[in-house]
């Protein structure tokens, strides 16, 4: 190794050591900026969510083509509104059903097609239970399952149900593939907070047992916190600027990987 190469290799770590405080302050400032100037990554993920269905899958392609050929929908989002009564469904249930169907058809922004089988005497038996206490209507919604538009469509259907109180003894439920996907995303978002708290508690206990030094434990936790904040903020900026779409499922995964990577490097360094 030449003297010049050796001098260059020693100069870099010396420079980093001399500028350690400014480097730390820059990273802390960057972390604060990306977390304060743009929405949190969870909100960005919900606003830029992509479809959960692989668009090149034969089943998805066939479903969309079928919807287009029959003039029903252009997405793979399907929701079911189920009516369940304490007694066999009667005239009051039919009137309530007709009111819901009219509202669904009027909301062309979120509902692309309504399969109104229970409103026709010829097809009514096909969507009613054998005991006559339940019936359903199938909806084709705008936006693919898991996408931002698809989630908004599910919320719109639920709002119609909430704004239309059923008669006594009758209940209405929203179910199906699209609502299930939306609920899964929301559950994942809520569970991330619990996962992060539990993970940090476990890491704190592990560090305390290994180092037995409060200052060392706090230092490593601070490093992990800044690293996780910088990673989450950077992804939020990229998504907020529209440079990348991602599912909200990726947010918990990214948070877990950030914590793991930060703890790993802090321990070994």
CB 89 within 8 A of CB 187: no
Least confident of 86-95, 122-131, 180-189, 220-229: 180-189
- Residue 172: CB atoms within 10 A of its CB come to 21
CA distances in angstroms from 247 to 18, 99, 141, 189, 236, listed in the order given = 41, 35, 19, 11, 12
- pLDDT digit string, tens, across residues 131-180: 999 999 999 999 888 888 899 999 999 999 999 999 999 999 999 999 99
Mean pLDDT rounded to a whole number for the chain: 87
What is the pLDDT at residue 4? 56
CB contact set of 204 (below 8 Å; sequence gap of 6+): 217, 221
Which of 18 and 266 is assigned the larger pLDDT? 18
Confidence label for 6 from pLDDT (cuts 50, 70 and 90): low
What is the pLDDT at residue 121? 85
CB contact set of 203 (below 8 Å; sequence gap of 6+): 221, 224, 259, 263
Residues 194 and 180: their CA atoms lie apart, in Å, by 21
Backbone angles phi, psi at 60, to 5 degrees: -70, -45
What is the pLDDT at residue 34? 92
Please, where are the H alpha helices in the chain? 3-18, 20-36, 41-47, 58-69, 91-106, 148-163, 177-211, 214-240, 250-268
Residues 164 and 158: their CA atoms lie apart, in Å, by 10
> Which DSSP category does 184 fall into?
H
Please, where are the H alpha helices in 73-213? 91-106, 148-163, 177-211
CB 144 within 8 A of CB 77: yes
- Token couple for 19: 């500028």
What is the pLDDT at residue 16? 82
Least confident of 143-152, 207-216, 243-252: 243-252
* Listed residue (228, 245, 177, 234) closest to 34, CA to CA: 234
Percent with pLDDT over 70 in the chain: 96
Give all domains of the chain, ordered by start, each with its CATH number: 3-51+187-268 (no CATH), 58-182 (3.30.70.1440)
pTM, rounded to two decimals: 0.78
CB 106 within 8 A of CB 164: no
Residues 266 and 269: their CA atoms lie apart, in Å, by 5
Percent with pLDDT over 90 in the chain: 40
What is the pLDDT at residue 2? 56
- pLDDT digit string, tens, across residues 76-95: 889 999 999 999 999 999 99
Instruction: Calculate mean pLDDT across residues 67-71.
Output: 84
């Amino acid at each position: 190794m030449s003297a010049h190469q050796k001098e260059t290799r020693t100069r870099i770590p010396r420079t980093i050591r001399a500028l350690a405080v400014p480097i730390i302050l820059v990273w802390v400032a960057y972390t604060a900026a990306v977390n304060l100037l743009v929405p949190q990554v969870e909100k960005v993920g919900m606003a830029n969510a992509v479809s959960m269905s692989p668009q090149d899958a034969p089943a998805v392609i066939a479903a969309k083509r079928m919807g287009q050929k029959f003039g029903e929908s252009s997405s793979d989002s399907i929701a079911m509104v189920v009516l369940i009564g304490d007694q066999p469904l009667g005239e009051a249930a039919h009137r309530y059903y007709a009111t819901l169907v009219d509202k669904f058809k009027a909301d062309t922004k979120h509902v692309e097609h309504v399969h109104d089988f229970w409103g026709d005497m010829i097809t009514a038996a096909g969507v009613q239970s054998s005991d006559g206490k339940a019936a359903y209507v199938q909806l084709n919604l705008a936006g693919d399952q898991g996408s931002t538009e698809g989630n908004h469509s599910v919320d719109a259907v639920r709002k119609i149900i909430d704004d239309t109180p059923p008669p006594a003894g009758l209940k209405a439920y929203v179910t199906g593939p699209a609502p299930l996907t939306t609920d899964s995303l929301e559950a994942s978002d809520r569970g991330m907070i619990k996962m992060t708290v539990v993970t940090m508690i476990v890491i704190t206990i592990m560090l305390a047992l290994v180092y037995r030094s409060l200052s060392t434990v706090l230092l490593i936790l601070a490093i992990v916190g800044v690293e996780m904040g910088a990673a989450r903020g950077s992804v939020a900026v990229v998504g907020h600027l529209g440079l990348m779409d991602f599912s909200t499922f990726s947010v918990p995964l990214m948070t877990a990987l950030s914590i793991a990577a930060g703890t790993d490097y802090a321990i070994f360094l």
